[in-house]
């Protein structure tokens, strides 16, 4: 039981790991003894975050734009050049765009879907060989997709592509879970509610009190909440779970 939630010695890649929810997960993994690679589109931000997280363990930077095939190949090649196996892949890199329906641009739809849905699919597919090498009997390799409660219910804000892409990611999680289970890889999703992040900053500034009031647990999510569920999914404790979408939202999704 002492090792049930241990991820010490595992190799993890967290996309979008330089800030927000990705950084919360990466920080938790680092402090739990994993060797963590983080990816982000901006090299300087990725390098800086990795240096800061390395104060508590091992964190390395592999920057790249994961909304494109070229960026996916770049990150995968960098990782394969340093590691012979990957135990944990966290597909967290995401984009959002809000605009009225009549003004919603095609470019926004493409950007959000390429980042939130196509990118996780391409990266998971590209890293399959490394993930298979990371699988052990009774301890499969893990893919953890970061969705959203906006993919579980209809949000108040006009974020059409974001909500649709996260709902798609939730279902892609189930499809991949069934396909990859025989290969020793589990695939699960986390659907976060409101957390302090750059993506949520404007929303929380405008609606903080209303969001807290709508949350049965009466608060905004904290970094430990996100790190905790990710460590559970990545550890022996979560080894028999696949195809699940776990809301981490203080109960908000139970109210709709």
Residue 234 lies in a domain: yes
> What is the residue-wise DSSP string for 48-98?
HHHHHHGGGSEEEE----TTSHHHHHHHHHHHHTT-S--SEEEE-------
Residue 227 lies in a domain: yes
Q: Give the pLDDT score at 6.
A: 98
Residue 86 belongs to domain spanning: 11-247
Question: How much is the mean pLDDT over the chain?
Answer: 94
Residue 226 domain flag = yes
Which stretches of the chain score pLDDT less than 70? Answer: 256
pLDDT of residue 256: 67
In a domain, residue 252? The reply is: no
Domain of 125: which CATH number? 3.40.50.720
Strands (E), 127-251: 141-146, 185-192, 245-248
Q: What is the C-alpha separation between 39 and 50, in angstroms, rounded?
A: 9
124-135 pLDDT, tens digit each: 999 999 999 999
Contact indicator for 185, 132 with CB cutoff of 8 Å: yes
Q: Is residue 254 part of a domain?
A: no
Q: List active site positions.
A: 162
Domain count, the chain: 1
Per-residue model confidence (pLDDT) at position 231: 98
Task: Flag whether 52 is in a domain.
Answer: yes
Q: What is the pTM of this model?
A: 0.95
């Amino acid at each position: 039981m002492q090792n049930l939630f241990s991820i010490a010695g595992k190799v993890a890649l967290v996309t979008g790991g330089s800030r927000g929810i990705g950084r919360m997960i990466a920080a938790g993994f680092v402090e739990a003894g994993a060797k963590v690679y983080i990816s982000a589109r901006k090299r300087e931000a990725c390098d800086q975050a990795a240096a800061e997280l390395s104060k508590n363990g091992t964190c390395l930077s592999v920057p790249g734009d994961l909304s494109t095939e070229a960026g996916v190949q770049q990150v995968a090649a960098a990782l394969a050049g340093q590691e012979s196996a990957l135990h944990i892949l966290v597909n967290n890199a995401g984009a959002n765009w809000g605009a009225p329906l009549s003004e919603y641009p095609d470019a926004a739809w493409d950007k959000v879907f390429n980042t939130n849905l196509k990118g996780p699919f391409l990266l998971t597919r590209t890293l399959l060989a490394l993930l298979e090498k990371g699988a052990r009997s009774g301890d499969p390799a893990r893919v953890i997709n970061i969705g959203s409660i906006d993919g579980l219910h209809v949000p108040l804000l006009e974020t059409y592509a974001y909500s649709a892409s996260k709902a798609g990611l939730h279902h892609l999680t189930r499809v991949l879970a069934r396909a990859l289970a025989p290969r020793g890889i589990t695939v699960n999703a986390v659907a976060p509610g409101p957390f302090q992040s750059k993506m949520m900053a404007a929303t929380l500034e405008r609606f903080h009190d209303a969001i807290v009031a709508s949350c049965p647990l009466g608060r905004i999510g904290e970094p430990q909440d996100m790190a905790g569920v990710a460590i559970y999914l990545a550890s022996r404790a979560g080894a028999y779970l696949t195809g699940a979408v776990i809301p981490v939202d203080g109960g908000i999704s139970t109210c709709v």
